[in-house]
A and B are shown apart, each in its own frame.
Chain A
Amino acid sequence: MRPRKSFSPQRRRDTALKRTVNKLCPCVSVVKCSALLVACLVLISADARAQAPLRWGADPSGGAPYVFTDPKHPDKYVGYELEMVEALAAAMNRKPEFVPTDWQTIVTSLERGEFDVIVNGLEPTEDRARVILFSKPYYIFQLQLTVRKNETRINGLEDCRTRTVGTLGNTAASRLLEKENIPFKGYEDPVGAYRDLELGRVDAVLMDVPMEAFYARPNPRLKPAGEPFMRGAYVIGLRKGDDALKAEVDAGIDKITRDGTLERILRKWGLWNDAQLDLRPKPAADGSPGESTPEEVKYEITSSTFNWSEALWRLTRAALVTVLLSLGAMVIAVTLGLVLAVGQSRGPAWVRALSTVYVEFFRGTPVLVQLLFLYFGLPRVGLAMPGWLTALVGLGLNYAAYESQVYRAALEAIPKGQYEAAYALGMSPVLAFRRIVLPQALRIALPPMTNDFVSLFKDTSVAFAISVWELATAYRELANASGEFMLLGAIVSAFYLLMSLPLAHLARRLELRLQRRQALRAVEAEVAG
């Protein structure tokens, strides 16, 4: 992979031009331009705080040191990019608003309008340049190869041709490995990659230095293989067409770079190095901008400082989301399922055909695929729903197919005589259905419905794929932040059981009651006969 600055020839020329200008008249033109621009923006946004917030998206799961769950306060996010965005937003006179999302699909989520900018160590690659805009770079990073402590065979990337290298999926590192034809495995987060390295599932891990510094360097069982190499830049991603916002963001980056805010943040996080000087719009005239070097923070990504009570509180709220998701989805499933069942058993031929196609489609394809389609596919035709609504609707549509079959079976179990008795009393078909058939069918359908509800309840965990903050997502994020996969796993399971067991119990009781009633009837029939 080429150095990161070569995103496009056009850009390279611009940068070169700027450098020349800078050399010719240091600290004049760019500063003036930027200052003017900032002044303009401030003027335009006179009542600054009333302006739209700066909604920024990043993946906080295993996201240190960019943005991640604070182990000391699992209800809060921390990270150098979080601090940078706060500074940037202040420079732009906006309020920052963090939108947690998933790294793999972050560009699509930006396009969907879930947030306005990506600030997540995003590298300006050519394929991304086709779909989104980039701000100017705010950080120069390098790549570092990590191996196990006792590793002797691997000293650099060239030793990895026949081994599997772990890395973060969809990053500069993964693209480099792809280009170099080195077998690699893409991970969702650095935690998983380094854990698998320890466990011997991969032989090396290639990662941006900031992540390596936080997740690998403190680990005594791992060591760096060779020096950091390659240079790339992190930029902020924006939607195509948001040129005004891009100008605003660029001006903001200039401001926090120039006034030393960014350097202070980077130094605080131990991420500062001389390479960053390249990004400075003007060389420091005199003195040192970072004279008051703050002490470096040491974030331990271990359980020792993990705050359990806050974590539990977060899990509780995630559990509430899970419950609300299942309830909402069940309402859709029950209503639509009934329509489908009636359509399939009573409707005219075309309604029957349509209902059957619907049922077979939703039963025959994985719910995960359906959710991804709804989340990423529908916005292409102009229908963009937020993640939670997508999960709710998607699961509802899916379970409607199952419910319809339960109802259909229940409706078919109602003897023809019940209809005739109702009709003989002068009831219309609609009235007979509503007052006589439906209540009886529901009684039959109730136990299987409860079972379905239990499994729907567990299936809400697929919403994790579209970044809905429910219990499974919470598990992954908190476990990545604390390393407590076992204990948190047990707690999360307990949460699920706490909610699903009473339901399962209810289902069993209903079933028993129905069976008893049937048994009673059988005995009566025998006595009568």
Chain B
Amino acid sequence: MIRIEGLGKVAGETRILRGVNLEVAPRTVLGIIGPSGSGKTTLLRCMNGFERITEGSLEAGGVRLEAGLNEKEYQRRVKQLRRQVGMVFQHFYLFPHLSVLGNVSEAPVYVLKRPRAEVEAQARQLLEAVGLGQRAERYPESLSGGEQQRVAIVRALAMRPEVLLFDEPTSALDPRRSNELAGTLRGLVEQGQTMVIVTHSMKFLEDVADRVLYMESGEAVELGDTAQILNDPQDPRTRDFIRHAD
């Protein structure tokens, strides 16, 4: 689960996030929407330590980050946090020099120090589950965009994170692949995965998210159940955004 209280971020002169309060219950999916530059990606990146918070606190997977921590302690906690929070990037960032199996096994073998044979067996199972069983020995460059994304998801899952973060997962997918992805993610939630997804696609949100957060100008404007936010937004800013969405 994730709990965020009074989170703010200032970088130099610029305020990027302000007073964000948020809770994500276990085994649920939170979708974050908002116009470009609203701070939604920054908020996501705060959740696994890529952006340092400057106000408030953030707790995920049992690890708590606070604004006032000294550098050493902060880094120590970020390290713990990343064991609990996985991330699937918009552009996947697969390792081009490793095979699909290598991409998936790398971190469990070298970070968790688990035996390679065991890790690879588990990796093959995970790949099989997303329909990539035949692709294990291939290299990322020979895979389609959708396949690459599934590898990226499996790579994150292989670390057995409590929370999985997605940054714009549908940006490179056609509607059919988008639907397939939604199915895959729902399957994971049923197995107990907690997720946070930043997206622009209302359709995808409807299919996947339990709750939706609308952000604008670095503020958490409105948080509610997916149906409520999409069909009956309370805040005028949310209403305006939904009206213009696809």
Chain A residues packing against B (C-beta within 8 Å): 415, 417-418, 420-428, 431, 435-436, 439-440, 443, 517, 520-521, 524, 528
Contacts and interface: CB of A to CB of B under 8 A. Distances in A.
A426 B97 contact: no
Contact of B141 (A425, A428, A439, A517): A517
B135 to A, nearest CB: 15
Contact of B172 (A420, A424, A427, A528): A528
Contacts of A422: 95
A284 B95 CA distance: 90
Contacts of A520: 141
Given A420-B50, A425-B82, A427-B107, 20 more contacts: A418-B95, A421-B89, A423-B50, A424-B50, A424-B156, A425-B107, A425-B111, A425-B159, A426-B79, A427-B110, A427-B111, A431-B110, A436-B106, A440-B95, A440-B97, A443-B97, A520-B141, A524-B141, A528-B144, A528-B145
Contacts of B97: 439-440, 443
A40 to B, nearest CB: 72
A452 B222 CA distance: 60
Given A439-B97, A443-B97, A425 B106 contact: yes
B186 interface: no
B87 A424 contact: yes
Please report whether the interface of chain B is mostly helix, strand, loop or mixed according to DSSP: loop
Contacts of A423: 50, 82
A424 B48 contact: yes
Nearest to B49: A423
Contact of B96 (A427, A431, A435, A440): A440
Contacts of A524: 141
Closest A-B pairs by Cβ, 9 of them = A421-B93, A425-B107, A417-B93, A424-B87, A426-B82, A426-B111, A528-B145, A439-B97, A440-B97
B155 interface: yes
A281 B48 CA distance: 94
B114 interface: no
A59 to B, nearest CB: 52
Interface of B: 48, 50, 79, 82-83, 86-87, 89, 91-97, 106-107, 110-112, 141, 144-145, 155-156, 159, 172
Nearest to A428: B79
B184 to A, nearest CB: 19
Contacts of B112: 426
B95 A424 contact: no
Given A420-B50, A435-B106, A524-B141, A425 B89 contact: no
Given A424-B86, A424-B87, A431-B110, A415 B141 contact: no
A424 B82 contact: yes
A201 B50 CA distance: 73
Contact of B110 (A435, A517, A528): A435
Contacts of B93: 415, 417-418, 420-421
27 contacts: A420-B50, A420-B93, A421-B94, A424-B48, A424-B89, A424-B156, A425-B107, A425-B111, A425-B155, A425-B156, A426-B83, A426-B111, A426-B112, A427-B107, A427-B110, A427-B111, A428-B79, A435-B106, A435-B110, A436-B95, A439-B97, A440-B96, A443-B97, A520-B141, A521-B141, A524-B141, A528-B145
Contact of B111 (A417, A418, A431, A517): A431
Contacts of B145: 528
Contact of A417 (B86, B89, B141): B89
Contacts of A417: 89, 91, 93
B48 to A, nearest CB: 6
Nearest to B155: A425
B171 to A, nearest CB: 11
A199 B159 CA distance: 80
Given A440-B96, A520-B141, A524-B141, A420 B89 contact: yes
A4 B79 CA distance: 81
Central interface residue in B92, B96, B112, by most chain A CB within 10 Å: B96
A424 B152 CA distance: 12
Among A415, A427, A517, max chain B CB count under 10 A is at A427
A395 B92 CA distance: 43
A428 B82 CA distance: 11
A339 to B, nearest CB: 22
Max chain B C-beta neighbours (<10 A), residue from A420, A424, A520: A424
B83 to A, nearest CB: 5
A374 B72 CA distance: 44
A427 to B, nearest CB: 6
Contacts of B156: 424-425
Contacts of A427: 107, 110-111
B104 to A, nearest CB: 10
Contacts of A528: 144-145, 172
Contacts of A435: 106, 110
B220 to A, nearest CB: 23
A443 B139 CA distance: 15
Contacts of B172: 528
Contacts of B106: 425, 435-436
A370 B48 CA distance: 50
B197 to A, nearest CB: 15
Contacts of B111: 425-427, 431
A343 B93 CA distance: 26
A418 B92 CA distance: 9
A420 B82 CA distance: 11
Contacts of B83: 426
A416 to B, nearest CB: 9
A436 B95 CA distance: 7
Contacts of B95: 418, 421-422, 436, 440
Contacts of A428: 79
Contacts of B89: 417, 420-421, 424
A417 B92 CA distance: 8
A428 B92 CA distance: 19
Interface centre among B86, B93, B141, B159 (most CB of A within 10 A): B93
Contacts of A443: 97
A435 B107 CA distance: 10
A424 B91 CA distance: 14
A317 to B, nearest CB: 40
A440 B89 CA distance: 19
A528 B141 CA distance: 12
